[in-house]
Amino acid sequence: MLNEALLAAREGVAQSDEDLFEELRIPSVSALPEYREDVRRNARWLIERLERIGFKTSLTDVAGGRHPVLQADLDVDPKLPRLTIYGHYDVQPADPVELWTTPPFEPTVRDGRVFARGAADNKGNHMAAIKAVEFCRKAGGPPVNLRFLIEGEEEITGEALGHYVRENAERLATDWVLVWDGGFGEDGSPSLTLGLRGILYVQLEAVGPGIDLHSGVYGGVAPNPLNTLAHVISSLKGRDGRITIPGFYDRVRRPTDAELEQWRRPAEYAETLKRLTQSESLEGEAEYPLLVRQWARPTLDVHGMMGGFTGEGVKTVIPSRAMAKVSMRLVPDQDPKEILPNLKKYVAELGTRGVKIEVRQLGATRPCLIGADNAAAAAAMDAFEAAFGRKPRFVRSGGSIPVAIDLQEALNAPMVSSGLPEADSAPHSPNERYSLDHYHRGIEMLIRFMYALPTQGTC
């Protein structure tokens, strides 16, 4: 049945592309309330496709969540093991839209890549998985029982799926979990991700005068929330890249010597990073190699500031309010619940008279380490080599998948984390793109992966 499924995939290339493009046209931006119905429409669109293949589906609004959790089950044979595949159907905002060469929700193919928001993160990944199952069904399979868990809150560090998994852990028992939200390395090789950074995302809200004030009349005496916010933010991290929050590094776990050896890159890697980031220079803690900074050191970054007058022209105003969004990527064994109170206390100490600053948590998740000594990882290694001609490298990811730690702890099943987009696919950026060759090879890789899994389960 494996060869028949592969043949069906090769004969179905055009329809696979069209299905992907159709989903990419849905602007499922989870962060913005004006797209709320589009996010739900994307979930319903996926349900229709999954039910067409034979899945039993449900769409659940979790208490406290903003967007629903999609569960889909395909029970082939109760004697067979189960593979659970994770993905997300929400996408980042497209801003700044003016930097896109073509509209972000009108998928356009150029040089073998489809350009659209969500193409790489994560619709190209989960559509490859859905199409792989579809082609297995056409060939009389698949060889394992399957479950999809696809959420609509990954891009907003949502907690709905995490709560759903923990509350239903016994019912969701599985033999393996495939976290299908990664990508290829900078050298073009597939990757198996053995570690994901956690995150603490906060909003700093500074309040000063009761109204906006004339900066000429009141400048020099009135407190300025933007000035204060700038001072606080600049004090959170030194120019050497070291974060100054008290106790921040207390629980940072050093990578093993074996990992550090495996992460060695030639000197040219710095130029590769400059090319990928379109930057003239790199920054950070100079005493650590670049990959250690990317994968195993925590970070603090400002994502946006707002306050006062930001339009065209001139308006000399002292704003009454200002806001900044800041995130910290966390590494083993840091815990956002421990860092948040230290941050709040430190921000209060850094503030100035006449300005009150509130630190409000927007999202948080702990980091996650993933083992590779299991049958699913071995199957993925072989499947990647067969489909792409290269065995994957073991890597960590600087990014975060909030629900990964929930899946790991609640389901207690071997986990594999990987994906298909190339390193320069520009997720979260204008002109996000996805290689259609990777998409088609990825469908074949997933077919091979499912057929390489053991036929005896443990759950």
> Which residues, including other chains, have CB under 8 Å from residue 57's CB and lie 6 or more apart?
47, 50, 51, 70, 71, 72, 73
Whole-prediction pTM: 0.93
Q: What pLDDT is attached to residue 288?
A: 96
Tell the burial category of 345 from Cβ atoms under 10 Å away from its Cβ (0-12, 13-18, 19+): middle
Q: Is the dihedral of CA 259, 176, 450, 135 positive or negative?
A: negative
Contact 363, 199 (CB under 8 A): yes
Q: Can you list the domains of the chain with their CATH numbers?
A: 2-196+367-452 (3.40.630.10), 198-252+281-365 (3.30.70.360)
Q: What pLDDT is attached to residue 455?
A: 85
Q: What pLDDT is attached to residue 51?
A: 98
Residue 400, SS3 per DSSP: coil
Q: Residue 356 and residue 321: Cα distance in Å, rounded?
A: 10
Running along the chain, 459 residues long, what does each successive block of 10 average in pLDDT?
Answer: 97 98 98 98 98 98 96 97 98 97 98 98 98 97 97 95 98 98 95 97 98 96 97 97 98 95 93 95 96 97 94 94 98 98 98 97 96 96 98 95 97 98 97 98 98 80
Contact 184, 437 (CB under 8 A): no
Q: What pLDDT is attached to residue 456?
A: 74
Q: What pLDDT is attached to residue 457?
A: 60
> Which residues, including other chains, have CB under 8 Å from residue 182's CB and lie 6 or more apart?
125, 191, 193, 397, 417, 418, 419
> Which residues, including other chains, have CB under 8 Å from residue 444's CB and lie 6 or more apart?
6, 9, 10, 132, 386, 387
Order the strands of the 393-397 sheet from edge to edge. 368-369, 191-196, 393-397
